[in-house]
Homo-oligomer: A and B are copies of this chain.
Amino acid sequence: MQTKQKQGLSIQYQDNTFEVVLDGRKILEHTPTSPCLFVGQGEEKIEMYRGNYDIEDYVVERFGLKSFEVIEESHQGFRIDFKRTSMDSETLSVAFSYENQNLKLNFSGDREAFNRFWVRIAADSTENVYGCGEQMSHLNLRGKHFPLWTSEPGVGRNKKTYTTFLADVHDKAGGDYYHTNYPQPTFLSSKKYFCHVDTTAYADFDFRKDHYHELQVWEVPSQIMFETGESIKELVSRLTQHLGRQPELPEWTYDGIWLGMQGGTDEVQKKIDAARDKGMKVGAVWAQDWQGKRVTSFGRRLNWNWQWDENEYPKLDQKLKEWKEQGIRFLGYINPYLILDGELYKEAAANHYFVLNQQDEIYLVDFGEFECGIVDLTNPAAFEWYKGVIQKYMIDFGLDGWMADFGEYLPTDAKLHNGEPAMLMHNAWPMLWAKVNFEAVDEAGKTDDIVYFMRAGYTGSQKYCRLLWAGDQSVNWDLDDGIASVIPAVLSAGLVGNGLHHSDIGGYTSLHGNKRSKELLLRWVELAAFTPVMRSHEGNRPTDSHQYDHDEETMNAFIRMTDVHVTLAPYLKDLVKENAEKGIPVQRPLFMEFEDDALTYDLQYQYMLGEDVLVAPVYEESASQWNVYLPNETWVHLWSGEVFDGGNVEVSAPIGQPPVFYKKGSEYADLFEKIREKYTPAQ
């Protein structure tokens, strides 16, 4: 048995086995029957239909790199040269370099000989793992595998639901538990390390085996990084040191709800007046149709040409200023596609700014009822031009923010300006799209005043995406695609460094008979009050959906929950600041605050809002009581003031009083008491 030790990194080896230990954690174990590396060749078949991908892989070859040689290399580490057998000519060299609890594995040698790569990370059978981007069905990823490919997340997302069946049959759109707008090849282990693979290739992380995690990547990656921490919190903070952190939100974002509405200047004015007259604190209106609509055979759609539509929104240029003076901001909408024959399309086409197809024509993508070109963000000139579009038509026009939608639809047979295969750029697209937005705002010096929000993501979103939203939930109670799913979504996204998150109040997708009920909308607005941003959405079928202004009870609920949210603003701002400075997400899984409590590691429908507040949203229909797990601590029930000592408790949870608890000694207790005094009638 030989040993090499470099600070916290050690390798023990003899004959044909070795073990790599990082700060006391075994991370690689290599034996002839279970080598730590496999490589091979695959032939993928990929079909896209409106952002839904059907991906099949035919693995032509896959073999373990069983033979190895350990070579002393630098003062920070060592190198291992891997071969299938000692007789083989192809070598994969892995340099191990360690510094400050961080281990980098850098791959060199015959990387190009293989387009499939698998690494086995040593695991314990009791270990939990988290992350992989924004996961909407599972927080603890153990026991499942997670293909990592940005796409539509699916409608239903569970092959056992009828909604999923119908979405599959009609639109190939049902999805499954792993489909997400925001995947990321990063996971955190309860053994207190994270692992991040530096790749944008298709990947599939498999956490089904007892003794190893097998990470599949459709290239030999250039680098895999591990880092250890004393706590999960420290891990996330360390991860964001590498990947980046979100700046704070503009001050005005705390001033009230952002009301989603459409229909033109008069309609918006009418809704603002009505809400304000009732006493609602409206921080912003969000009008996704600011650039106009397009009437198709299916009805009203947005016009994907990102310039003010003066017909739809007359005098908007003046109104913006007026509303801002009254304390109401105005938010718009953009995405990385341009509608065929719009003005911007013509300009981009003339300048060759579009992604091309294999025939060197502009690649037109079907978005449901119309076709669009994709601005080629790998072309520096196109990137700058699109940044300019945002600056000229949105920032200079006076928008205070926007939904920066989509980013998942890059076809894999596209031709790109940078010459990279679209298979490798597909996952990179959400980051590039975020970067355009980031730089447009940053270079305009407006980071303190403007915010945009995105659903698509990948590595890099941490740095370039100011705020996530959870994408397009179905307007129902389904665990995998309804209101509940936004909770694992925020928690998993937060664990990989995206600390600011919110969701469409009421959900978005009405299809196959699903219609948004009043109860769902009311439960969603009370959930949203305990997130950094409250924003409502009319849904894809506004007339089929219950809306905040459909009756007085709903309006009052919105007024009340907005007031609760605004009351919490000092607390929320401090959390947002902590996220900006340390990368600690505003909403956190319980185990981040109570690491020693084993029962918290599988709780995916409760969360901590900062250190002091525990939120357990009601996500089932017709509930009036709710079961909550409270870690060992003295908790005060927000609405009743009742004190709990921890354990499983059942509390009253009528609509308007979601289960929320704060720590008895919280320095923000006065805020929470203010809420209780105002909203809980005297006994």
Contact = CB atoms under 8 A, between A and B. Distances in A.
A162 B159 CA distance: 12
Instruction: Specify which of A64, A165, A168 lies most central, judged by the most chain B CB atoms within 10 Å of its CB.
Output: A165
A656 interface: no
Interface stretch (A55-63, A239-247, A622-630, A647-655): A55-63
A682 interface: no
Contacts of A300: none
A59 B87 CA distance: 24
A187 interface: no
A672 interface: no
Interface in A75-96: 85, 87-88
A61 B59 contact: no
Interface in A167-185: 168-169
A209 to B, nearest CB: 9
A62 B118 CA distance: 13
Contact of A160 (B59, B87, B159, B169): B169
A88 B84 CA distance: 10
A533 B165 CA distance: 39
Nearest to A165: B165
A452 interface: no
Contacts of A59: 59, 62
A87 B61 CA distance: 18
A162 B168 CA distance: 12
A8 interface: no
A641 interface: no
A214 to B, nearest CB: 9
Given A87-B87, A88-B87, A64 B61 contact: yes
Contacts of A162: 165
Nearest to A66: B61
A633 to B, nearest CB: 41
A162 B164 CA distance: 12
Contacts of A53: none
A89 to B, nearest CB: 9
Contacts of A87: 85, 87-88
Nearest to A159: B168
A423 B64 CA distance: 26
Contact of A62 (B61, B165, B169): B61
A40 interface: yes
A166 to B, nearest CB: 9
Interface string A40-63: 100000000000000000011111
Contacts of A88: 85, 87
A38 interface: yes
Contacts of A168: 159-160
A38 B61 contact: yes
Contacts of A159: 168
Nearest to A170: B160
A226 to B, nearest CB: 24
A32 to B, nearest CB: 12
Contacts of A160: 168-169
A279 to B, nearest CB: 47
A532 to B, nearest CB: 38
A60 B62 CA distance: 7
A285 B160 CA distance: 42
Interface-centre pick from A38, A59, A62 (highest chain B CB count, 10 A): A62
A600 to B, nearest CB: 30
A143 to B, nearest CB: 13
Contacts of A169: 160
Interface in A241-297: none
Nearest to A45: B208
Question: Considering residues A40, A63, A85, which has the most beta carbons from chain B within 10 angstroms of its beta carbon?
Answer: A63
A493 B400 CA distance: 69
Interface in A17-47: 38, 40
Nearest to A43: B209
A38 B160 CA distance: 37
Contacts of A38: 60-61
Contacts of A85: 87-88
A459 to B, nearest CB: 27
Contacts of A64: 60-61
A322 to B, nearest CB: 54
Nearest to A61: B63
Nearest to A87: B87
5 contacts: A59-B59, A60-B62, A62-B62, A87-B88, A160-B169
For the complex of A and B, the 9 pairs showing the least CB-CB separation, nearest first, are A87-B87, A165-B165, A63-B63, A62-B62, A160-B169, A61-B63, A61-B62, A61-B64, A59-B62
Given A61-B63, A61-B64, A160-B168, 10 more contacts: A38-B61, A59-B62, A60-B62, A61-B62, A85-B87, A87-B87, A159-B168, A160-B169, A162-B165, A165-B165
